[in-house]
Amino acid sequence: MFRDRTVSLVIPAYNEEETIGQVVEEFLKEPHLDEIVVVDNNCKDRTAEIATAAGARVVQEPKAGYGAALTTGMNAATGELLVLVEADGSFRARDVVKLLCYLDDAGMVMGTRTTRQMVEQGANMRFMLRWGNVFMAKFLQLCWMRPAEPRFTDVGCTFRALTKITWEKIRERTREPGPAFSPEMMCAALQERCRIIEVPVTYSRRMGGESKHSDTFSRQAKLAIKMFRTICRKRFLERGRKIVKAEARQVL
């Protein structure tokens, strides 16, 4: 619990048996977390079994993709505050409180991995990936310069926190099943006039396995194009679009 508000940690996972146990154990030691929700996104290994044994609550999401898994995890979480993190061990539990502190002033707090002094040796943040994230973040920032005037340096950081109220506001504005869900969340929050703050977080070397989206230049380029298209869609094609809530659609 953090300042009388319950906190849930959500971890999307696809075949992360090498790391999930260590990640859950590390974050369980963080005193502000009330629960850890691991989303089994079609894992074909022992990820779910190991996560449960380590102390997490496991939920299933059959639709493949980072965005699909996070959506299910945030819907299943019971906390008033939600913290999202990777299953690969590249983020540190000690930074959770850093994100939570700023939720007193914002609806969403983004971590950034582009502060060079916070990137540890061996972390997957090479020159092109780092500056690609900065460029895309600045493009998103420019798109919403009026009226929000945000300040971003990273669109791909998966370590972030938001209030459950913010998630309920933006949920119907998100649809990306894959990693483009990350900047889509940011755009959706800006569409709903939510305040977003960005803070540097420690970025470490993966405990095991390989990145499924940024391990090669080809995958990085494809992801960059998807993110660019998502930002453009949110800013220019959905501008002023009213969202019909799921409950209303069912009545109709």
Place of tokens 């405990």: 207
Q: What is the pLDDT of residues 63-94, one digit of tens each?
A: 999 999 999 999 999 999 999 999 999 999 99
More confident residue, 84 or 123: 84
Residue 191 placed within a domain: yes
Residue 250 placed within a domain: no
**H/E element, 84:** strand 81-84
Query: CA–CA separation, 129 vs 25, rounded Å?
Result: 29
- Strand 57-60 and strand 108-112: pairing? unpaired
Residue 197 placed within a domain: yes
Supply the CATH number for residue 68's domain.
3.90.550.10
Residue 249 placed within a domain: no
Q: How many domains does the chain have?
A: 1
Q: What's the confidence (pLDDT) of residue 214?
A: 54
Instruction: Give residue 250's Cα distance to chain centre.
Output: 28
Q: What's the confidence (pLDDT) of residue 41?
A: 97
Residue 109 placed within a domain: yes
Confidence of residue 124 (pLDDT cuts 50, 70, 90): low
Residue 83 placed within a domain: yes
Tell me the residue range of the domain where 118 lies.
7-239
Q: What is the pLDDT of residues 149-183, one digit of tens each?
A: 899 999 989 999 999 999 999 999 999 999 999 99
